Amino acid sequence: MENLIFLTLSLTRGGAERVICNMCNEYFAKHYHVTIISLMAAKPEYELDASIRLLTIDTEEEQYQQNMLVRFPRRRRALAKVLRELQKDGQTKALISFLPEPNFLACSLKGKCSFPVIISVRNDPVKEYAGTFRQTMMRVFYPKASGYVFQTRMARDYFRFSTHIMENSAVIPNPIARDFLNLAPAEKRNREIVAVGRLEKQKNPMLLLHAFEKVRKKHPEYQLVFYGEGSLRKELEQEIRTKGLTQAVQLRGNTSDVKGAIREAALFVLASDYEGMPNALMEAMALGLPCISTDCPCGGSAFLIRDGENGWLVPVGEEEALAQQMCEVLENPEKAREAGCAAQEITKQLNPDVIYRTWDEMLQLCFKGYGQRK
C-alpha cells in the first residue's frame, strides 16, 4: 500500500486530534500505510490502530518552549529529517497537516517534499492568525500548499486574498464519531445542564457560569455540570465559591464516556467565543439533547443549528441572552424534546463514511493535480 503522513501538534485531548485518530483508524489505515507525526512528545490520549506508526519531533523538555519564533527553526529541521527518511521509498502520497503551527511547518517544507502538502484549517482564522507574526507566517507559507481543507465556507472565505487557495480547497466538516450514530434520545431527562470542552478562554465557561446564576434564580432545581479541564479551573472554582454555587455547579473534569455522561441531561450549552466545527455540539445533537450555542464567528454552530428548529443560537458573549434562552428551553419541555429529535438529523449529513469519502476525493484531486504540475 501507499503511504500517507499526518502532521499535528499532539494527540492529547482536542477536537482536531480526535478527528485525525478517528479518520486514520476507521478509514485511511485500511487503504494506506499511515504515519502520524506529533510535534509534542505528550502521551496520546486516543487509541490508534496497531498498523499506524506514531513519531514525535520534540523531546519532553523541548515541547514546553512557548515561543514559536524560537522553536520553529528547530522543529523545521527535525521535521525535514523525518520527512527525508519517510519519502525514500517513493511511496508517500501526501503530507496532511492540522492546526496552525504544523501547517506552517508543512508548507515551509513543501519544496523538499516529493508529494503534495495538504493543510487543514480547524478553527476561526480571524482568531487563529491574529497578531503580526502569525498573520505573516500564514501569508508567506500557506499559498505554498497543494490543497486546503476548511470546515466551513466562512473559514474559507477568509483566504479570498489567494486565488490559489480558493481554487484548490474543499469545505469538509467534521464527521460524527461512529458510536454516536443511530441512538434513540433518552426517555428521561435529569436536572443537569451540561457543557463539554476545555476550561479555556475560547470556550468562555465563565459566561455560562454567570448565565446559570441567573437561571438558577428561576429554576433552583437544576445543576450546571462542566466536563473538561483547563487553565481556568481554579478561577472557576473561586467564582463558584464567591457566588455561593458550590452545591449547584460541578467541575467533573475529563471523561472517557461523554455519551454516558451527558445523554440524559436536560440541556447542552456551548458558550464559546469562537469555534471551528464544534465536536461537542455535534455529539450532543446526535444524542438528541436540546442544544443552545453561541453564534460563533466562522459559522460552525450556525451550520449545525437552524435557530428555533433543531436548537438555539444566541449572540456571542451576551450573558443575559444566554440566560433567557436557557430559561425558555427549560420552561418548554415539549419544544425542547422536538428540537432534540430534529437535531439528530445532522447524523445523516455528517456520517463518517460520507465525510471520509469526501476527504479521499479531495486527496485524489490533489494527487492528480500534483502529478500534472510536476
Q: What is the pLDDT of residues 23-52, one digit of tens each?
A: 999 999 999 999 999 998 777 888 899 999
Closest by CA position to 197, among listed 228, 225, 176: 228
- Please identify, in words, the CATH class of the domain defined by 178-349: alpha beta
Task: Assign residue 174 a region (left: φ > 0; alpha: ψ between -120 and 50; beta: otherwise).
Answer: beta
pLDDT at 90: 85
Tell me the pLDDT band of 88, cut-offs 50, 70 and 90: confident
Over residues 283-295, mean pLDDT: 98
pLDDT tier at 130 (50, 70, 90 boundaries)? Answer: very high
The CATH number given to 3-175+351-373 is 3.40.50.2000
Is pLDDT above 80 for 5? yes
Domain limits of the chain? Answer: 3-175+351-373, 178-349
Order of all β-strands in the sheet with 291-294: 249-251, 223-227, 192-196, 267-270, 291-294, 312-314
pLDDT > 90: percent of the chain: 83
Mean pLDDT (whole number) for 271-293: 96
Closest to 363 (Cα-Cα) out of 137, 172, 192: 172
Q: Identify the pLDDT of residue 42.
A: 73
The answer to whether the predicted template modeling score (pTM) of the entire model surpasses 0.95 is no
Partner residues linked to 25 by β-bridges:
none
Q: What is the pLDDT of residues 193-238, one digit of tens each?
A: 999 999 999 999 999 999 999 999 999 999 999 999 999 999 999 9
CA distance 23 to 29: 8
Burial (CB < 10 A; 0-12, 13-18, 19+), residue 347, is buried
Q: Is residue 256 very low, low, confident or very high in pLDDT (cuts 50, 70, 90)?
A: confident
Closest CA to 105 of 126, 67, 77, 65: 77
Q: Is 178-349 in the same CATH topology as 3-175+351-373?
A: yes
pLDDT grade, residue 371 (50/70/90)? low
Task: Return the pLDDT at 106.
Answer: 97
Q: Could you tell me what percent of the chain has a pLDDT over 70?
A: 97
User: Is a pLDDT exceeding 70 seen at residue 64?
Assistant: no
